[in-house]
A and B are shown apart, each in its own frame.
Chain A
Amino acid sequence: MAGILSTQNVKAGYNDVIIIHDVSLEVACGEIVAILGPNGSGKSTFIKCILGFAKLFDGNVLYDGNIITGITSDKAVSMGISYVPQINNVFPNLTISENLDIGAYHRSNKSEIKNSISEIFDMFPELAVKKKNLAGNLSGGERQMLAIARAIMAQPKVLLLDEPFASLSPKPIAVILSKLTSIKQNGIAIMMVEQNVREALSISDRGYVLVNGSCVMSGNSDSLFAEEFSRQKFLGLEEKKFDRNKFRVHNDS
């Protein structure tokens, strides 16, 4: 599969401090890629540098074969790249419906936007019943769903997720896993930074492991699990025997 979004030897960080060193990776249409690694490994910085929220010192970002290095996030959205930050990822003073309207901000066709909102509510019935509620009143899981729904309203080709399972209990995590699988089935590429290795690898096709800002390992998700060294050294999975299939999300639709 050809990569819809890729980076080439990216160096990035904040102010004058370089955190990411020569990272090259890619995600293809309809693929989920997990970026894993311990705390402080630079995973979030990497995803932020793609959209200009972190400083990109060197290297290139390519989207659909074109160099988009240094693009601002508002322009990236209109090109087809949506981003869901780890925290503060909804507008708490706006209702659920208004958050979705903002997600479609760059779109102009009102009837298409209306249709998209209906589709979103079909996909996230949990949000439909509370559409007039302020986002600030939602639970953690509902907020995360709304954040992802807001990002999808932009009709992206690539969805960048920064730790979508952080601070969530197992039940909302399972719901979001199934939603992400549905999104993938719609042909949207997902690049996901995550610390919950088991959950991330349970739905991803491939994974990259970042340590101290460098990519130390990559491969398909099964092989990353199978690799004893990576499990113990980078993924922190040495304590438990892990059955990956247990976490597989079955989506009958």
Chain B
Amino acid sequence: MSLMLICDDLMNVNWIQILLNSAVTGSLYLIGAVGLTVTYGLSGFPNFAHAEFLTLGAFIGFWIAEDIGAPLPVAFIVAFLITGIISVLCYRFIFQPLAKKGASTIHLMVASIALGFIIRYSIGAVWSWTPMYFSIKWPSYIVGSVRIAGQWSLLIVVALVLAFSMHLILIKTRIGKAIRASSSNPDLALASGINVGRIILITWFAGAGLAAVAGIFRAVNTQIWPLTGWDIILPIFAVVVLGGIGNYYGAIAAAFIIGLAENVGVVFLTSIGLSTEYRMAIAFIIIVITLIVKPQGLAMLFRRG
């Protein structure tokens, strides 16, 4: 394919639509990644079972909304609470005892991968591996040359509300300052009278609850099956790494950068005749480049994170 044809293709792309799609993708990754980055920063290991918290939330939401027939907001709340509680139990009875016995980051990471397998295959056994779909019909709007689906606008609004309220919590409240302090220096936080163990449990609860919300959005947008969370764990980890581990503000910027990179990347992949299946490689490439060039990610730009 000649360079001229590629340029022609790129000129004909609806870039405003691409920007909107990037905001949608970024919003999903933000909601999914916030919990992972905060728990990674506080607990000191990457919890790969976070993917299954997305999946679990999606299935709980599906069960509430589709099987029981409750309204979607109820599904979001119940999924948030149940997934949060399960996450706390996982930390309290698996990861905390391991850490107390001196488990290293690698041990804890492997344990989280094992936990992820257990949750994933348990979900498959309970609900089946056949993809399912939410039956809710969302309205679509055409604004100029841009199509906006109802669930997209809800997703973006939720992400913006989350970003702003998390900012207020972290900066203005006692618990928020304690989270930032514990993430920065757990021993000093302890020596300042903060019950760091309790702070960690709170972040595991809220982080997994938000993962559940992201899981429902992912399922509403695509399909629901036991790999719903695992399918997007790579870009979620890319957000955590690019944003700087444990850095909330870095995660916000990184989520939208990766959302944009993926959507623009898909346009380029299509224009050079490659499959859009390669979009996942974009997140992987961002992780590798970040780790080589700037392992601390965007954290230096957002030092209050």
Residues of A at under 8 Å CB distance from B?
51, 53, 72-74, 77-78, 82-83, 85, 88-95, 98, 101-103, 105-106, 134, 136, 150, 154
Contacts and interface: CB of A to CB of B under 8 A. Distances in A.
B249 to A, nearest CB: 10
Contacts of A95: 304
A136 B181 CA distance: 13
Contacts of A88: 185, 187-188
B193 interface: yes
B191 interface: yes
Contact of A91 (B174, B188, B196, B305): B188
A93 B184 contact: yes
Main secondary structure of the interface of B (DSSP, over half): helix
B177 interface: yes
A102 B194 contact: yes
A90 B185 CA distance: 8
Given A82-B191, A91-B188, 20 more contacts: A73-B187, A74-B191, A74-B195, A77-B191, A77-B193, A85-B188, A88-B188, A91-B185, A91-B189, A92-B184, A92-B303, A93-B305, A94-B177, A102-B177, A102-B189, A102-B192, A102-B194, A105-B194, A136-B303, A154-B192
Interface string B194-214: 111000000000000000000
Contacts of B185: 88, 91
A94 to B, nearest CB: 6
B218 interface: no
A102 B181 contact: yes
B154 to A, nearest CB: 33
A136 B303 CA distance: 9
Contacts of A77: 191-193
A53 B187 contact: yes
B187 A102 contact: no
A53 B304 CA distance: 27
B149 interface: no
With most chain B CB atoms within 10 A of its CB, the pick from A53, A85, A105, A154 is: A105
B180 interface: yes
Given A105-B174, A134-B303, A136-B303, A94 B192 contact: no
With most chain B CB atoms within 10 A of its CB, the pick from A73, A82, A89, A150 is: A73
A102 B189 CA distance: 8
A78 B187 CA distance: 16
B47 to A, nearest CB: 22
16 contacts: A74-B190, A74-B191, A74-B193, A74-B194, A77-B193, A85-B191, A89-B188, A91-B184, A91-B188, A92-B184, A92-B303, A93-B184, A95-B304, A102-B192, A150-B192, A154-B192
Contact of A78 (B193, B196, B304, B305): B193
Interface string B222-240: 0000000000000000000
A103 B193 CA distance: 8
Contact of B193 (A53, A89, A106): A106
B33 interface: no
With most chain A CB atoms within 10 A of its CB, the pick from B177, B181, B192, B194 is: B192
B242 interface: no
A88 B192 CA distance: 13
Contacts of A85: 187-188, 191
A103 B188 CA distance: 10
A91 B303 contact: no
Contacts of A90: 188
Contacts of B194: 74, 102, 105
A91 B181 contact: yes
A54 to B, nearest CB: 12
B178 interface: yes
